[in-house]
Amino acid sequence: MDFGFTEEQELLRKSAREVLAERSTPAVARAVMESETGFDESLWKTIAELGWCGVAIPEAEGGLGLGWVEQAVLVEETGRAVLPAPYLSTVGLALPVVLLAEPGEMRSRLLQGIASGEMRVALALTEEDGEWFAPLKAAATKSVNGYTIEGRKVFVADAHVAHELLVVARLDDDFAVFAVPAADTAITPLPTLDRTRRLSEVRLDGVTVGSERLIASGKSLGWRPADRTALVIAAEQTGVAQRVLEMSVQYAKEREQFGKPIGSFQAISHKLADMLLLTESARSHVYYAAWAIDEGTPDASLAAASARVAGIEAGRFATAEAIQVHGGIGFTYEHDLHLFYRRAKWDELYYGDATVWRERVAELIAAT
Protein backbone atom coordinates (compact mmCIF):
# COMPACT_ATOMS: atom_id res chain seq x y z
CA MET A 1 0.00 0.00 0.00
CA ASP A 2 1.30 3.41 -0.91
CA PHE A 3 -1.01 6.42 -0.89
CA GLY A 4 1.60 8.96 -1.86
CA PHE A 5 2.48 10.87 -5.01
CA THR A 6 5.50 10.12 -7.19
CA GLU A 7 8.21 12.71 -7.54
CA GLU A 8 6.91 13.52 -11.03
CA GLN A 9 3.41 14.06 -9.71
CA GLU A 10 4.70 16.34 -6.96
CA LEU A 11 6.66 18.26 -9.52
CA LEU A 12 3.60 18.62 -11.73
CA ARG A 13 1.67 20.05 -8.79
CA LYS A 14 4.44 22.40 -7.84
CA SER A 15 4.93 23.79 -11.33
CA ALA A 16 1.18 24.13 -11.85
CA ARG A 17 0.83 26.03 -8.61
CA GLU A 18 3.61 28.38 -9.62
CA VAL A 19 2.19 29.06 -13.06
CA LEU A 20 -1.31 29.57 -11.71
CA ALA A 21 -0.14 31.86 -8.93
CA GLU A 22 1.18 34.15 -11.60
CA ARG A 23 -1.26 33.68 -14.46
CA SER A 24 -4.56 32.82 -12.77
CA THR A 25 -4.89 35.46 -10.11
CA PRO A 26 -8.29 36.58 -8.82
CA ALA A 27 -7.75 39.78 -10.81
CA VAL A 28 -7.62 37.73 -14.01
CA ALA A 29 -10.77 35.86 -12.97
CA ARG A 30 -12.53 39.17 -12.37
CA ALA A 31 -11.47 40.49 -15.77
CA VAL A 32 -12.91 37.39 -17.42
CA MET A 33 -16.11 37.73 -15.38
CA GLU A 34 -16.63 41.29 -16.52
CA SER A 35 -15.65 40.68 -20.13
CA GLU A 36 -18.12 40.31 -22.96
CA THR A 37 -16.67 37.02 -24.18
CA GLY A 38 -15.86 35.47 -20.81
CA PHE A 39 -12.62 34.23 -22.25
CA ASP A 40 -8.93 35.11 -21.91
CA GLU A 41 -7.10 34.06 -25.07
CA SER A 42 -3.59 34.46 -23.70
CA LEU A 43 -4.35 32.49 -20.56
CA TRP A 44 -5.67 29.68 -22.72
CA LYS A 45 -2.47 29.78 -24.79
CA THR A 46 -0.42 29.34 -21.64
CA ILE A 47 -2.47 26.32 -20.64
CA ALA A 48 -2.20 24.86 -24.12
CA GLU A 49 1.55 25.32 -24.30
CA LEU A 50 2.02 23.58 -20.98
CA GLY A 51 0.19 20.57 -22.41
CA TRP A 52 -2.34 20.59 -19.60
CA CYS A 53 -5.19 19.62 -21.89
CA GLY A 54 -3.39 16.47 -22.92
CA VAL A 55 -2.36 15.10 -19.54
CA ALA A 56 -4.69 12.11 -19.78
CA ILE A 57 -4.39 11.74 -23.58
CA PRO A 58 -2.10 8.99 -24.94
CA GLU A 59 1.21 10.09 -26.41
CA ALA A 60 0.24 8.55 -29.73
CA GLU A 61 -2.55 11.16 -29.92
CA GLY A 62 -0.29 14.05 -29.00
CA GLY A 63 -0.91 13.97 -25.25
CA LEU A 64 1.40 13.54 -22.31
CA GLY A 65 0.24 9.96 -21.79
CA LEU A 66 -0.25 10.33 -18.07
CA GLY A 67 -3.39 9.31 -16.21
CA TRP A 68 -6.29 10.51 -14.14
CA VAL A 69 -4.17 10.89 -11.02
CA GLU A 70 -2.14 13.54 -12.81
CA GLN A 71 -5.29 15.03 -14.26
CA ALA A 72 -6.74 15.28 -10.74
CA VAL A 73 -3.54 16.91 -9.46
CA LEU A 74 -3.83 19.58 -12.12
CA VAL A 75 -7.53 20.20 -11.62
CA GLU A 76 -7.11 20.42 -7.86
CA GLU A 77 -4.62 23.19 -8.56
CA THR A 78 -6.80 24.96 -11.12
CA GLY A 79 -9.63 24.81 -8.58
CA ARG A 80 -7.39 26.33 -5.96
CA ALA A 81 -6.77 29.18 -8.38
CA VAL A 82 -10.39 29.47 -9.65
CA LEU A 83 -8.91 29.22 -13.12
CA PRO A 84 -11.11 31.33 -15.42
CA ALA A 85 -10.68 29.21 -18.53
CA PRO A 86 -12.73 26.51 -20.27
CA TYR A 87 -10.39 23.89 -18.90
CA LEU A 88 -12.70 21.77 -16.78
CA SER A 89 -15.32 21.76 -19.51
CA THR A 90 -12.78 20.45 -21.98
CA VAL A 91 -10.84 17.89 -19.90
CA GLY A 92 -13.54 17.07 -17.38
CA LEU A 93 -16.75 17.03 -19.38
CA ALA A 94 -15.77 16.46 -23.02
CA LEU A 95 -12.51 14.53 -22.91
CA PRO A 96 -13.84 11.49 -21.02
CA VAL A 97 -16.41 10.94 -23.77
CA VAL A 98 -13.86 11.36 -26.54
CA LEU A 99 -11.33 9.04 -24.90
CA LEU A 100 -13.95 6.32 -24.62
CA ALA A 101 -15.31 6.87 -28.15
CA GLU A 102 -14.85 4.39 -30.98
CA PRO A 103 -11.27 4.45 -32.25
CA GLY A 104 -11.13 6.14 -35.60
CA GLU A 105 -10.16 9.24 -37.47
CA MET A 106 -12.67 11.55 -35.80
CA ARG A 107 -11.64 10.47 -32.32
CA SER A 108 -7.98 11.04 -33.21
CA ARG A 109 -8.74 14.46 -34.63
CA LEU A 110 -10.56 15.45 -31.48
CA LEU A 111 -7.91 14.03 -29.15
CA GLN A 112 -5.11 15.71 -31.02
CA GLY A 113 -7.01 18.95 -31.16
CA ILE A 114 -7.67 18.86 -27.44
CA ALA A 115 -4.12 17.79 -26.57
CA SER A 116 -2.62 20.69 -28.50
CA GLY A 117 -5.11 23.12 -26.95
CA GLU A 118 -6.17 24.21 -30.41
CA MET A 119 -9.57 22.67 -30.03
CA ARG A 120 -11.94 23.42 -27.21
CA VAL A 121 -14.74 20.93 -26.90
CA ALA A 122 -17.97 21.26 -24.91
CA LEU A 123 -20.36 18.55 -23.83
CA ALA A 124 -23.96 19.27 -24.90
CA LEU A 125 -25.96 16.80 -22.85
CA THR A 126 -28.67 18.40 -20.72
CA GLU A 127 -31.89 19.88 -22.01
CA GLU A 128 -34.56 22.21 -20.76
CA ASP A 129 -35.42 20.12 -17.70
CA GLY A 130 -31.82 20.27 -16.45
CA GLU A 131 -31.78 16.55 -15.80
CA TRP A 132 -28.45 14.80 -16.17
CA PHE A 133 -29.03 11.17 -16.74
CA ALA A 134 -32.50 11.21 -18.20
CA PRO A 135 -34.24 10.53 -21.50
CA LEU A 136 -33.41 13.09 -24.16
CA LYS A 137 -35.59 14.95 -26.60
CA ALA A 138 -32.86 15.85 -29.08
CA ALA A 139 -32.91 13.26 -31.83
CA ALA A 140 -30.74 12.24 -34.76
CA THR A 141 -31.98 10.59 -37.91
CA LYS A 142 -30.00 8.87 -40.59
CA SER A 143 -29.87 10.90 -43.79
CA VAL A 144 -28.15 10.48 -47.12
CA ASN A 145 -24.93 12.19 -46.11
CA GLY A 146 -24.82 11.15 -42.46
CA TYR A 147 -27.11 12.25 -39.67
CA THR A 148 -29.46 15.13 -39.12
CA ILE A 149 -29.83 16.37 -35.57
CA GLU A 150 -32.76 18.28 -34.24
CA GLY A 151 -33.02 19.59 -30.71
CA ARG A 152 -32.19 22.10 -28.05
CA LYS A 153 -29.47 21.71 -25.46
CA VAL A 154 -29.39 23.90 -22.36
CA PHE A 155 -26.82 24.57 -19.63
CA VAL A 156 -23.94 23.72 -21.96
CA ALA A 157 -20.75 24.78 -20.19
CA ASP A 158 -18.38 26.98 -22.19
CA ALA A 159 -20.18 26.34 -25.46
CA HIS A 160 -19.67 29.99 -26.39
CA VAL A 161 -15.90 29.47 -26.70
CA ALA A 162 -15.91 25.90 -28.00
CA HIS A 163 -14.93 24.76 -31.48
CA GLU A 164 -16.68 21.42 -31.30
CA LEU A 165 -19.73 20.32 -29.36
CA LEU A 166 -20.33 16.75 -28.30
CA VAL A 167 -24.06 16.56 -28.82
CA VAL A 168 -25.84 13.67 -27.18
CA ALA A 169 -29.01 12.73 -29.06
CA ARG A 170 -31.44 9.86 -29.41
CA LEU A 171 -30.70 7.49 -32.24
CA ASP A 172 -32.95 4.50 -32.78
CA ASP A 173 -33.42 2.83 -29.38
CA ASP A 174 -30.16 4.15 -27.91
CA PHE A 175 -28.46 7.51 -27.76
CA ALA A 176 -25.39 8.58 -29.63
CA VAL A 177 -22.71 11.21 -29.32
CA PHE A 178 -22.02 13.43 -32.33
CA ALA A 179 -19.13 15.82 -32.75
CA VAL A 180 -20.81 18.92 -34.15
CA PRO A 181 -18.88 22.01 -35.24
CA ALA A 182 -20.00 24.75 -32.86
CA ALA A 183 -20.36 27.08 -35.83
CA ASP A 184 -23.20 24.94 -37.21
CA THR A 185 -25.33 25.57 -34.13
CA ALA A 186 -26.98 28.64 -32.61
CA ILE A 187 -25.38 29.37 -29.25
CA THR A 188 -26.85 31.82 -26.74
CA PRO A 189 -24.95 32.39 -23.49
CA LEU A 190 -27.16 32.51 -20.39
CA PRO A 191 -26.51 34.76 -17.36
CA THR A 192 -24.55 32.39 -15.14
CA LEU A 193 -23.72 32.98 -11.49
CA ASP A 194 -20.13 31.90 -12.13
CA ARG A 195 -19.38 34.12 -15.08
CA THR A 196 -15.95 32.59 -15.53
CA ARG A 197 -17.74 29.44 -16.63
CA ARG A 198 -20.81 30.39 -18.57
CA LEU A 199 -23.67 28.19 -19.54
CA SER A 200 -25.34 28.45 -22.92
CA GLU A 201 -28.37 27.36 -24.79
CA VAL A 202 -27.54 25.53 -28.01
CA ARG A 203 -30.05 25.09 -30.80
CA LEU A 204 -29.64 22.49 -33.49
CA ASP A 205 -32.17 23.12 -36.17
CA GLY A 206 -31.71 20.17 -38.47
CA VAL A 207 -27.90 20.23 -38.42
CA THR A 208 -26.46 17.61 -40.73
CA VAL A 209 -23.13 15.97 -39.96
CA GLY A 210 -21.16 13.28 -41.78
CA SER A 211 -21.43 9.74 -40.44
CA GLU A 212 -17.80 9.85 -39.24
CA ARG A 213 -18.99 12.41 -36.69
CA LEU A 214 -20.99 9.82 -34.80
CA ILE A 215 -18.26 9.01 -32.29
CA ALA A 216 -19.91 6.85 -29.67
CA SER A 217 -23.09 5.10 -28.70
CA GLY A 218 -24.71 5.14 -25.30
CA LYS A 219 -24.55 1.40 -24.86
CA SER A 220 -20.80 1.29 -25.40
CA LEU A 221 -20.07 4.30 -23.16
CA GLY A 222 -22.24 3.43 -20.19
CA TRP A 223 -21.27 5.27 -17.04
CA ARG A 224 -17.54 5.30 -17.76
CA PRO A 225 -17.30 8.95 -18.91
CA ALA A 226 -19.47 9.99 -15.96
CA ASP A 227 -17.02 8.37 -13.53
CA ARG A 228 -14.22 10.48 -14.92
CA THR A 229 -16.26 13.66 -14.99
CA ALA A 230 -17.37 13.13 -11.41
CA LEU A 231 -13.76 12.67 -10.42
CA VAL A 232 -12.57 15.82 -12.17
CA ILE A 233 -15.26 18.02 -10.65
CA ALA A 234 -14.52 16.56 -7.22
CA ALA A 235 -10.84 17.39 -7.68
CA GLU A 236 -11.76 20.97 -8.48
CA GLN A 237 -14.00 21.17 -5.42
CA THR A 238 -11.16 19.91 -3.28
CA GLY A 239 -8.92 22.66 -4.58
CA VAL A 240 -11.58 25.30 -4.00
CA ALA A 241 -12.17 24.06 -0.45
CA GLN A 242 -8.45 23.94 0.29
CA ARG A 243 -7.92 27.50 -0.84
CA VAL A 244 -10.78 29.04 1.15
CA LEU A 245 -9.67 27.03 4.17
CA GLU A 246 -6.20 28.55 3.88
CA MET A 247 -7.67 32.03 3.48
CA SER A 248 -9.88 31.52 6.52
CA VAL A 249 -7.14 30.14 8.76
CA GLN A 250 -4.94 33.06 7.83
CA TYR A 251 -7.72 35.52 8.55
CA ALA A 252 -8.64 33.86 11.85
CA LYS A 253 -5.06 34.34 12.99
CA GLU A 254 -4.89 37.98 11.98
CA ARG A 255 -8.33 39.37 12.71
CA GLU A 256 -8.79 40.45 16.29
CA GLN A 257 -12.01 41.15 18.15
CA PHE A 258 -12.39 41.44 21.91
CA GLY A 259 -8.62 41.75 22.08
CA LYS A 260 -7.90 38.30 20.66
CA PRO A 261 -7.52 36.64 17.28
CA ILE A 262 -10.96 35.33 16.31
CA GLY A 263 -9.31 31.94 15.72
CA SER A 264 -9.04 31.63 19.50
CA PHE A 265 -12.83 31.45 19.76
CA GLN A 266 -13.91 27.85 19.47
CA ALA A 267 -16.95 28.83 17.42
CA ILE A 268 -14.41 29.77 14.76
CA SER A 269 -11.64 27.24 15.33
CA HIS A 270 -14.08 24.33 15.27
CA LYS A 271 -15.51 25.50 11.96
CA LEU A 272 -11.99 25.56 10.55
CA ALA A 273 -11.30 22.09 11.90
CA ASP A 274 -14.48 20.81 10.24
CA MET A 275 -13.48 22.46 6.97
CA LEU A 276 -10.17 20.65 7.12
CA LEU A 277 -11.86 17.34 7.87
CA LEU A 278 -14.18 17.63 4.86
CA THR A 279 -11.41 18.87 2.57
CA GLU A 280 -9.01 16.09 3.50
CA SER A 281 -11.77 13.53 3.11
CA ALA A 282 -12.60 14.83 -0.34
CA ARG A 283 -8.92 14.73 -1.29
CA SER A 284 -8.54 11.12 -0.16
CA HIS A 285 -11.62 10.14 -2.15
CA VAL A 286 -10.42 12.00 -5.23
CA TYR A 287 -7.03 10.33 -5.43
CA TYR A 288 -8.34 6.91 -4.61
CA ALA A 289 -10.94 7.28 -7.36
CA ALA A 290 -8.32 8.56 -9.80
CA TRP A 291 -6.13 5.56 -9.11
CA ALA A 292 -9.09 3.18 -9.36
CA ILE A 293 -10.05 4.63 -12.75
CA ASP A 294 -6.48 4.42 -14.02
CA GLU A 295 -6.24 0.83 -12.85
CA GLY A 296 -9.73 -0.09 -13.98
CA THR A 297 -10.57 -1.62 -10.61
CA PRO A 298 -14.10 -3.04 -10.20
CA ASP A 299 -14.99 -0.34 -7.67
CA ALA A 300 -13.90 2.57 -9.86
CA SER A 301 -17.47 3.80 -10.42
CA LEU A 302 -18.27 3.63 -6.72
CA ALA A 303 -15.04 5.43 -5.87
CA ALA A 304 -15.78 8.20 -8.37
CA ALA A 305 -19.35 8.67 -7.15
CA SER A 306 -18.10 8.75 -3.56
CA ALA A 307 -15.51 11.37 -4.49
CA ARG A 308 -18.21 13.47 -6.10
CA VAL A 309 -20.31 13.39 -2.92
CA ALA A 310 -17.33 14.16 -0.70
CA GLY A 311 -16.30 16.98 -3.04
CA ILE A 312 -19.75 18.55 -2.93
CA GLU A 313 -19.77 18.45 0.87
CA ALA A 314 -16.31 19.96 1.15
CA GLY A 315 -16.88 22.68 -1.42
CA ARG A 316 -20.25 23.73 -0.08
CA PHE A 317 -19.31 23.73 3.60
CA ALA A 318 -15.90 25.33 3.19
CA THR A 319 -17.00 28.21 0.98
CA ALA A 320 -20.08 29.00 3.07
CA GLU A 321 -18.25 28.90 6.37
CA ALA A 322 -15.33 30.85 4.97
CA ILE A 323 -17.73 33.75 4.42
CA GLN A 324 -19.03 33.38 7.96
CA VAL A 325 -15.52 33.38 9.44
CA HIS A 326 -14.68 36.54 7.52
CA GLY A 327 -17.78 38.41 8.71
CA GLY A 328 -18.77 41.55 6.76
CA ILE A 329 -15.66 41.61 4.60
CA GLY A 330 -16.46 38.10 3.37
CA PHE A 331 -19.78 39.31 2.02
CA THR A 332 -18.26 41.94 -0.26
CA TYR A 333 -17.76 41.74 -3.98
CA GLU A 334 -14.26 43.16 -3.53
CA HIS A 335 -13.18 40.21 -1.43
CA ASP A 336 -12.23 37.16 -3.47
CA LEU A 337 -14.23 34.67 -1.44
CA HIS A 338 -17.31 34.98 -3.60
CA LEU A 339 -15.35 33.86 -6.65
CA PHE A 340 -14.75 30.59 -4.83
CA TYR A 341 -18.29 30.49 -3.50
CA ARG A 342 -19.67 30.83 -7.02
CA ARG A 343 -17.33 28.19 -8.37
CA ALA A 344 -18.27 25.80 -5.57
CA LYS A 345 -21.98 26.39 -6.27
CA TRP A 346 -21.40 25.71 -9.94
CA ASP A 347 -19.58 22.48 -9.14
CA GLU A 348 -22.29 21.49 -6.70
CA LEU A 349 -25.25 21.94 -9.03
CA TYR A 350 -23.64 21.00 -12.32
CA TYR A 351 -23.52 17.40 -13.51
CA GLY A 352 -25.93 16.04 -10.95
CA ASP A 353 -26.11 17.31 -7.39
CA ALA A 354 -25.38 15.49 -4.17
CA THR A 355 -28.77 13.74 -4.26
CA VAL A 356 -28.07 12.27 -7.69
CA TRP A 357 -24.63 11.04 -6.71
CA ARG A 358 -25.62 9.70 -3.31
CA GLU A 359 -28.30 7.75 -5.12
CA ARG A 360 -25.63 6.42 -7.45
CA VAL A 361 -23.51 5.37 -4.46
CA ALA A 362 -26.56 3.72 -2.91
CA GLU A 363 -27.29 1.79 -6.10
CA LEU A 364 -23.74 0.57 -6.34
CA ILE A 365 -23.38 -0.49 -2.72
CA ALA A 366 -26.78 -2.14 -2.76
CA ALA A 367 -25.78 -4.15 -5.82
CA THR A 368 -22.71 -5.69 -4.21
Partner 1 sequence: MDFRDTAAEAAFRKDVRDWLEANKPSGAVAGLGVTEGRVGMLRTWQRKLHEGGWAGLGWPKEYGGRGASLIEQVIFSQEYARAKAPSILNVIGIGMAGPTIIAHGTDEQKHRYLDKILSGEEIWCQGFSEPGAGSDLGALRTSAVVEGDSFIVNGQKVWTTLAHIADWCILLARTDPTAPKHKGISYLLVDMHSPGVEVRPLRQMTGEAEFNEMFFTDVRVPRDNILGDVNDGWRIAMTTLLHERGTLGFALATQAEIVLGEAIALAKKTLKAGRPAIEDPLVRQRLAQLHVEIQAMRLNNYRALTTVMRTGIPGPEGSLGKLLWSESNKRLGELMLEIQGPAGLLEGSGYAGDNGEWVYRHFRSRANSIEAGTSEILRNIIAERVLGLPKHK
Ligand X SMILES: Cc1cc2nc3c(=O)[nH]c(=O)nc-3n(C[C@H](O)[C@H](O)[C@H](O)COP(=O)(O)OP(=O)(O)OC[C@H]3O[C@@H](n4cnc5c(N)ncnc54)[C@H](O)[C@@H]3O)c2cc1C
Q: Which region, judged by CB under 8 A, interacts with partner 1, from 12-20, 103-111, 219-227, 349-357?
A: 349-357
Nearer to ligand X, 251 or 346 (CB): 251
For 130-166, give one letter per residue: b (16+ CB within 10 A) or e: eebeeebebbbeeeeebbbbbbbbbbbbbbbbbbbbb
Sole binder of ligand X in the list 145, 188, 324, 355 (CB under 6 A): 324
Q: Does 361 bind partner 1 (CB under 8 A)?
A: no
Residues 6 or more apart whose CB falls under 8 angstroms from that of 16 comprise 52, 73, 74, 77, 78
| Rounded Cα gap, residues 76 and 49, in angstroms | 19
With CB under 5 to 8 Å by kind, the binding choice for 134 among ligand X, partner 1, none is: partner 1
Q: Is 202 in contact with 156 (CB distance < 8 Å)?
A: yes
Sole binder of partner 1 in the list 334, 366, 367, 368 (CB under 8 A): 334
Sole binder of ligand X in the list 130, 206, 222, 327 (CB under 6 A): 327
> Which residues within the stretch 283-322 sit at the binding site for partner 1 (CB under 8 A)?
316, 320
Q: Does 4 bind partner 1 (CB under 8 A)?
A: no
| Rounded Cα gap, residues 356 and 3, in angstroms | 29
Q: Is 154 in contact with 127 (CB distance < 8 Å)?
A: yes
What's the gap between Cα 119 and its chain centre? 17
> Whole-angstrom distance between the N-terminal and C-terminal Cα of the chain?
24
Binding mask 194-233 for partner 1 (x = CB under 8 A): x----x-x--------------------------------
Q: Is 186 in contact with 122 (CB distance < 8 Å)?
A: no
> Which residues within the stretch 235-274 sit at the binding site for ligand X (CB under 6 A)?
255, 257-258, 262, 265, 267-268
Instruction: Tell me how long the chain is.
Output: 368
| Rounded Cα gap, residues 91 and 123, in angstroms | 10
Residue 169 CA: distances (Å) to CA of 129, 146, 161: 15, 14, 21
Q: Does 35 bind partner 1 (CB under 8 A)?
A: no
Sole binder of partner 1 in the list 11, 49, 59, 130 (CB under 8 A): 130
Q: Does 330 bind partner 1 (CB under 8 A)?
A: yes
Q: What is the contact surface with partner 1 in residues (CB under 8 A)?
A: 126, 128-132, 134-135, 154-155, 190-194, 199, 201, 256-259, 265, 267-268, 316, 320, 323-324, 327-328, 330-335, 337-338, 341, 345-346, 348-350, 353, 355-356, 359
